[in-house]
């Protein structure tokens, strides 16, 4: 569902400059940039100074427990909520401006499409809302991209929840947005559907489309995202690549005398550890490099809270 759709907002901007489906994008500055972003609701603080940049072609995972401020950040970027302080720009334009909203595709977690429309009719409706000139060709390409190439004539109400989820991603891509915001896009999908979405996101990266992915499925985020930002209490408390956040946790060696753990060692230390043990007369049966996962890093950042 679009950030500017009258189904979710009173705004109705245009995207008249988007007529071809998913072209390769030229170089741009940061697609999304927030600086010192604050948002309060009365005495409650939703955002307490968020600095975040998303570059063209970058997939960024936005993680955090409920109430961390993720949805507020996304709504401000879409122009649906006004910040209390700080600044947000999309494609160099203030968030909420016509230029900014033209460049955004959005799928909310709790979306609802009219059951009586076919999949093709739904995309045609959103083409009119976005003033996309892609026509039937764009609709057919998008349905094919999300694995619904044979479902264009099927009513939305007859689609499974997972198929509706993929249809929602297709409508978010109408008009070739440069920034795609997805809220739990794989929560209702089976493993095949998740693989389809991962492949789709990888293809968007190659086209220069930036993606901000809000998800609780940490394994999916770890597989597809270039960078992760973990939010807690309206702030970003951890940020980096999944590999950097999921650091090494030591080397475990099984020997004749039992299992030995070298806590401060990494993969590069394993050969020397084995050589030292063998020189000392130990029989080595197996070696395992231990590494934390993104889930471990997430729990360390927010678990106590």
- Residue 39 reports pLDDT greater than 90: yes
Would you place residue 248 in the very low, low, confident or very high pLDDT band (cuts 50, 70, 90)? low
| DSSP states of 88-145 | EEETTEETTSHHHHHTEEEE-SS----TTSBHHHHHHHHHHHHT---HHHHHHHHHHH
Would you place residue 22 in the very low, low, confident or very high pLDDT band (cuts 50, 70, 90)? very low
Q: Domain spans of the chain?
A: 32-244, 247-302
* Nearest Cα to Cα of residue 113 among 46, 166, 168: 168
Report how far Cα 63 is from the mean position of its chain's Cα atoms: 9
Q: What one-character DSSP code corresponds to residue 293?
A: -
> What's the CATH class of domain 32-244?
alpha beta
Q: Specify the pLDDT at position 59.
A: 93
Q: Specify the pLDDT at position 14.
A: 39
Would you place residue 110 in the very low, low, confident or very high pLDDT band (cuts 50, 70, 90)? confident
Would you place residue 54 in the very low, low, confident or very high pLDDT band (cuts 50, 70, 90)? very high
pLDDT in tens, 140-196: 999 998 888 998 899 999 998 888 888 988 999 998 899 999 887 776 677 887 888
pLDDT in tens, 111-121: 888 899 999 99
Q: Specify the pLDDT at position 203.
A: 84
Q: Specify the pLDDT at position 108.
A: 81
Report how far Cα 165 is from the mean position of its chain's Cα atoms: 14
* Top-ranked range on mean pLDDT: pick from 9-18, 34-43, 286-295: 34-43
């Amino acid at each position: 569902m679009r950030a500017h759709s009258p189904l979710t907002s009173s705004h109705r901007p245009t995207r008249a400059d988007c007529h071809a489906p998913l072209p390769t994008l030229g170089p741009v500055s940061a697609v999304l940039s927030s600086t010192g972003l604050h948002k309060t609701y009365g005495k409650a603080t939703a955002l307490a100074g968020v600095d975040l940049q998303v570059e063209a072609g970058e997939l960024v995972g936005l993680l955090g427990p409920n109430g961390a401020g993720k949805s507020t950040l996304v709504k401000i970027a879409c122009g649906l909520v006004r910040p209390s302080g700080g600044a947000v720009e999309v494609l160099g334009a203030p968030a909420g401006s016509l230029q900014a909203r033209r460049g955004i595709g959005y799928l909310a977690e709790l979306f609802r499409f009219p059951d009586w429309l076919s999949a093709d009719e739904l995309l045609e409706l959103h083409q009119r809302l976005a003033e996309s000139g892609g026509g039937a060709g764009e609709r057919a390409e998008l349905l094919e991209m999300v694995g619904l190439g044979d479902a264009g004539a099927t009513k939305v109400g007859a689609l499974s929840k997972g198929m509706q989820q993929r249809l929602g991603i297709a409508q978010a891509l109408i008009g070739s947005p440069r920034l795609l915001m997805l809220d739990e896009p794989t929560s209702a999908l089976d493993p095949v559907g998740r693989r389809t979405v991962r492949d789709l996101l990888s293809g968007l990266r190659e086209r220069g489309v930036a993606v901000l992915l809000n998800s609780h499925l940490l394994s999916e985020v770890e597989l597809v995202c270039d960078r992760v930002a973990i939010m807690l209490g309206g702030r970003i408390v951890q940020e980096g690549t999944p590999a950097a956040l999921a650091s090494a946790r030591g080397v475990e060696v099984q020997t004749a005398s039992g299992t030995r753990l070298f806590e401060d060692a990494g993969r590069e230390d394993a050969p020397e550890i084995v050589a030292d043990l063998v020189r000392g007369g130990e029989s080595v049966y197996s070696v395992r490099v231990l590494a934390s996962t993104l889930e471990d890093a997430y729990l360390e950042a927010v678990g106590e809270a």
